[in-house]
Amino acid sequence: MTAGRVVSLVPSITEALAATRPESLVGATDWCTHPADLDVTRVRGTKNPDLAAILALAPDVVVANKEENRELDVRRLRDAGVDVWVSEIESVPAAFTAYDELFDDVLGWPRPDWLEEARDLWAGPPPEVTRRVAIAIWRDPWMVVGSRTFTGDLARRLGLANVFEGHPDRYPRVEPGELDACGADVVLLPDEPYLFTAEDGPEALALPTELVSGRLLTWYGPSLIAAHASLARP
């Protein structure tokens, strides 16, 4: 079966579906900001989707993610008779494996050219470490990327050593003083999920900081192509 009506509750995958077969994407969350001209029914947020609106769209499948969406919402949709596919993506290779399953087995769509281009770019072993980094994702409280995350794996494949990689938590809370003493060369401050800016973030830390694109650092989809070009350093 080929899926003709798809609702995505995952911004990264929304971008991937819109880049592949936009006419089949009928619903997405308010956080699905790419492509910028996406014109589909909005079904509220990733953590509080409007289940009635999703059901009204009569989707062939709803696409979700273990980290970004709630198990409760997935269960309620399934109880209502909706087919829900849930991904679990904690590394770059896992993203490609998930897309292979999504396109081949769930949607019945041919694999898109962007997927193979991204796969080729990220193939091979990680390069030597060029910088030690801490990757902040939130402020008040400050939170950073810890272990077992897609973002941490992507950074490693760019030659960036995440100093919190060994932390038992995936997104540990830290104090600014802990960040300053963590041994990083630089603290990366993405513009999502928290919108760090030149005026909001760097002033709280003694370590050098660098503002980066949150989409390129945390999303998995067509953005992987731009991320490889924009974030990699010789």
Please state whether the peptide bond connecting residue 141 to the residue before it is cis, i.e. omega within 30 degrees of 0: yes
Strand ranges across the sheet with 6-8: 41-42, 25-28, 6-8, 61-65, 84-87
What integer pLDDT is reported at residue 234 of this predicted model? 47
Q: What are phi and psi of 103, to 5 degrees?
A: -75, -40
**Which domains, and CATH codes, for the chain?**
6-121 (3.40.50.1980), 131-231 (3.40.50.1980)
Burial class (CB in 10 A: 0-12, 13-18, 19+), 209: buried
Distance in angstroms (rounded) separating the CA atoms of residues 231 and 54: 36
| Residues of the chain where predicted confidence (pLDDT) is lower than 70 | 232-234
Six token digits for residue 30: 């308010």
Burial class (CB in 10 A: 0-12, 13-18, 19+), 205: middle
Distance in angstroms (rounded) separating the CA atoms of residues 152 and 227: 14
Q: Is the dihedral of CA 53, 54, 56, 57 positive or negative?
A: positive
pLDDT digits (tens, 9 = 90+) for 102-143: 999 999 999 999 999 999 999 988 899 999 999 999 999 999
Burial class (CB in 10 A: 0-12, 13-18, 19+), 13: buried
